[in-house]
Structure 1
Amino acid sequence: MSTSQNYIYLDNASTTKVDDEVIREIIPYLSELYGNSSSAHSLGVEINKKIVKARGNVAKLFNSEPKEITFTSGATEAINTTLKGIVTSNRTKRIQIITVKTEHSAVLDTCKYLEEIGFDVVYLPVLKSGLLDLNELKKVISEKTLLVSVMLVNNETGVIQPIKEITKIAHQFGALMMTDATQAVGKIPVDVKDLNIDYLVFSGHKFYAPKGIGGYYQNSQSLNFQPLLHGGGQEKGKRSGTLNVPGVIGLGKSCEITINETERNKSSVQELRDLLENELLTIEGAFVNGDRENRIYNISNICFPHIDADILIKMLDNICVSNGSACHSELIEPSHVLTAMGLSNKNAFSSIRFSLSKYNTESEILYTIKKVKEIISQLKTSNYA
């Protein structure tokens, strides 16, 4: 296919199209209003007012205070900032960090680094459903636990963890609680007060904002930590570096749109996801990976036993899907999420993630169903199956 207009994009857990309203909001700040928001001149002051408004929109989406939002380049930086900041600012004898085997690599790799500098990290297993067994958490948490980090929505299966209950357990032992809400924000309500969370990280490009902008929420009552980046003292000293003005303004606009669209998008996207999933499950042996009840409405991770997912993806040509996290797309290894859920390597390599957005149409889904069925039928009669 020669142009992006000919693609059917079902890889929205990797990234999303920037909303047209967001683009229109951003354009002036890439051209005539290109000043630095930290500058004291009139243009800088004018731009800073837009930054203040954008921060307010983000805070409104989370039901937080604007001062509790810090902008970063995205969720990976926010995760590194939060995890490393908490442990390096720790003045207690708490040396244990608890996380889950199905976390995003940004959390897992950072935790591996923290192990190297002396922290005890516990990687909790999950049930076949992908859900955390809270009894497993209760077995290992203690007064030595500094932090519990569990993602709200899994990026590969869409499984939603019971963060409110996990936070309650963490706080009972005096531990801090962080959640990676990257796949949740913009799709389902994320109320930091209701969750009673200490820290939350997110990324704008997962819900129709530009790439390169995200941030973290820090409960104003929680531990203040040293920043990952030192320099000009931007973001009240929490994240130095010239602010990504177009990104921040775009993120703020996306949050504003999301507040008004969430319920409508949920209904339409889930209807398409269910259509896709129900039809593909008529393929012999096919099954859904992860809990089908406790999951986000736009993701379906399906295993097609005895089919090589890489070959299927290539043969789908103009249909964009994934066989795992985009961050590890170049690695030839089974998904750590699926194997942690008990799948064999073979079945993990036979699994595909379909992730939808508000821009997908019924005709795209019907075409995808048709193509997947045709190709799998071909593969089963060839040497590739």
Structure 2
Amino acid sequence: MSKAPIYLDNQATTPLAPEVFDVMVPWLRDNFGNPHSTHILGRRAAAAVEVSRDQIAELLPESGNIVFTGSASEAINLAFGAVRALQAVGRNKIIILDSEHAAVRDTALFYEKQGFLVERHPVGSDGIVSLDRLRASIDDRTALVAAMLVNNEIGVIQPVEEIAELAHEHGTLMLCDVVQGYGRVDIPGNIDMAAISAHKIYGPKGIGALWVRSGIDLPPFIHGGGQERGIRSGTLSPALCAGFGMAAALCIEHRESDAAHIQRLADMAQRCFKDWTINGSLDQRYGGNLNIRREAVDVARLMSDVREVAFSAGSACASGSGRPSHVLAALGLEAAQIKSSIRLGFGRYNSLEDIENASKLINEAVGAQ
């Protein structure tokens, strides 16, 4: 069996925490009841789901509800449904940042075909939106503003609290993709909806959630039995819910130690890659995401040459599309600079030795090109 590569792609997904695996096993093996059934097995499963819902809510604003989904992408699609009722009262404008995840961009483009005006708002060369320019764009016709808290490709942190304030001045809803920030950075309390994902926080794949502020009505998204809050039909998996809840609880338990560890990894990585240029803000960023470029590097060849390290040339969600990174393009980078950029993602289970060894392999391969 070949040796596992050094894993530095924690923005794409994270390893399953051992504690998460352990809490899931009984719900996969023994406690197989349907959480929507009324007998004892069903009630036990339903109780486990609600415990998980409470654990996840600990890291989110108060006065809201959690709707379990199959992914954060599904949560984002569910959230966009809020604009349908607003269209009838003259609000037909959607504003998204030009650096948003494909789940937001492509959903917005779908709504553009439904008669909405979609504005992809620019960001600066540092990846941060100008609040003054955004203020001028939001008006009384705007139904929704969507802005990601921590960018999945370059790690920059947007001023989401201020963006939400601007949106609310015009009675506009504010949707935040907090997938990369949940459990890592503070989530502003004034957003209206937040999409999250379990597998980005050392939880299982196949489950996400949408947090919705109380008082916001969403139309049914998946029709059927109405099991989840009447808007998403389908049987919930107690195992996935329990795993998600445990992953959230571990984020709370390890928040300080995780943050300190990630910063140590980030500091070492910046020293090891001192000959590279960081894409995006140097200060307003999450340290566990390092997107860097180096002139004349052939990243496709680099990834082929350095198979001992698992890293990325961009978002895993778009890696198979052949499209260049729209996030790096939004920064104003030229095509050659985009093709010379890599993303390194550090996590709870990485070591300083991982960074040292990976950087040696990558830099040696670049020197041989």
When the two structures are superposed, what TM-score results if normalisation uses the length of structure 2?
Answer: 0.97
Q: How far has the Cα of 1:348 moved from its partner?
A: 0.3
SS in 2 for 1:248: helix
What is the rounded CA distance, in whole Å, between the counterparts of 1:279 and 1:29 in structure 2? Answer: 44
Q: Deviations over 1:324-354 (max 9, x none)?
A: 1001111223211001101001000000000
**Partner in structure 1 of residue 272 of structure 2:** 279
CA–CA separation in structure 2 for the residues paired with 1:63 and 1:224: 17
Alignment of 1:296-375 (within 5 A): 296-375=286-365
Distance in 1 between the 2:355 and 2:97 partners?
33
| Structure 2 equivalent of residue 264 of structure 1 | 257
What residue in structure 2 maps to residue 56 of structure 1? 54
Task: For 1:376, give the aligned amino acid.
Answer: V
Instruction: For residue 211 of structure 2, give the secondary structure of its aligned residue in structure 1.
Output: strand
Instruction: State the distance in 1 between where 2:200 and 2:348 align.
Output: 12
Is 1:206 the counterpart of 2:204? The answer is no
CA distance in 2, matches of 1:12, 1:139: 36
Say if 1:188 and 1:262, in contact at 8 Å, map to a contact too: no
Q: Is the contact made by 1:22 and 1:253 (CA closer than 8 Å) also made in structure 2?
A: yes
Candidates 14, 18, 21, aligned match of 2:19: 21
1:106-121 equivalences under 5 Å are: 106-121=103-118
Question: CA-to-partner distance for each residue in 1:5-57, whole Å, 9 max, x for gaps?
Answer: 62210000000001000000000111111111111110111111111111010
Q: Select which of 58, 81, 88 maps to 2:84.
A: 88
Paired residue for 1:124, among 107, 121, 126? 121
SS of 1:241 mapped into structure 2? coil
Using the alignment, how far apart are the partners of 1:231 and 1:186 within structure 2?
Answer: 33
- How far, CA to CA, are the matches of 2:89 and 2:324 in structure 1? 39
Report the AA paired with residue 58 of structure 1: I
Q: Is the 8 A contact 2:272 2:356 kept in 1?
A: no
CA distance in 2, matches of 1:234, 1:301: 41
SS at match of 2:257: helix
Q: Which amino acid aligns with 1:54?
A: S
1:383 is matched with which residue? none
Report deviation, 1:139.
1.7
Q: Match of 1:357, as an amino acid?
A: G
1:210 is aligned with what amino acid? Answer: P
1:76 corresponds to: 73
With the length of structure 1 as denominator, give the TM-score of the two structures: 0.93
> 2:82 aligns to what SS in structure 1?
helix
CA distance in 2 between counterparts of 1:63 and 1:291 reads 26
Give how far 1:188 is off. 1.6
225, 229, 234: which one aligns with 2:222: 229
**Which consecutive unaligned segments of at least 5 residues does structure 1 have?**
380-385
Specify the alignment match of 1:168 in structure 2. 165
Q: Which residue of the other structure, out of 239, 243, 253, is the alignment partner of 1:246? A: 239
**Secondary structure at the residue paired with 1:62?**
coil
Pairwise CA distance, 1:63 = 3.9
Matched-pair contact (CA < 8 Å) for 2:9–2:311: yes
Question: Per-residue displacement from partner, 1:84-130 (whole Å, max 9, x unpaired)?
Answer: x1122324211111111100001100111111110001110110000
Give the secondary structure class of the aligned counterpart of 1:6: coil
- Supply the distance in 2 between the matched residues of 1:178 and 1:44 (Cα, whole angstroms): 34
Q: Which has the higher helix share?
A: 1
CA RMSD of aligned residues (A): 1.2
**Does residue 154 of structure 2 align to residue 157 of structure 1?**
yes
1:9 has 2:7 as partner: yes
Name the SS for the 2:59 alignment partner: helix
Specify the alignment match of 1:382 in structure 2: none
In structure 2, the residue matched to 1:134 is 131
Whether 2:173 is the aligned partner of 1:180: answer no
Aligned residue pair count? 368
Alignment deviations for residues 140-196 of structure 1 (CA, whole Å, 9 cap, x no partner): 1111111111111100000000000000000001111110001101222325x3xx1
Deviation at 1:360, TM superposition (A): 0.3
- Residue identity opposite 1:226 in structure 2: P
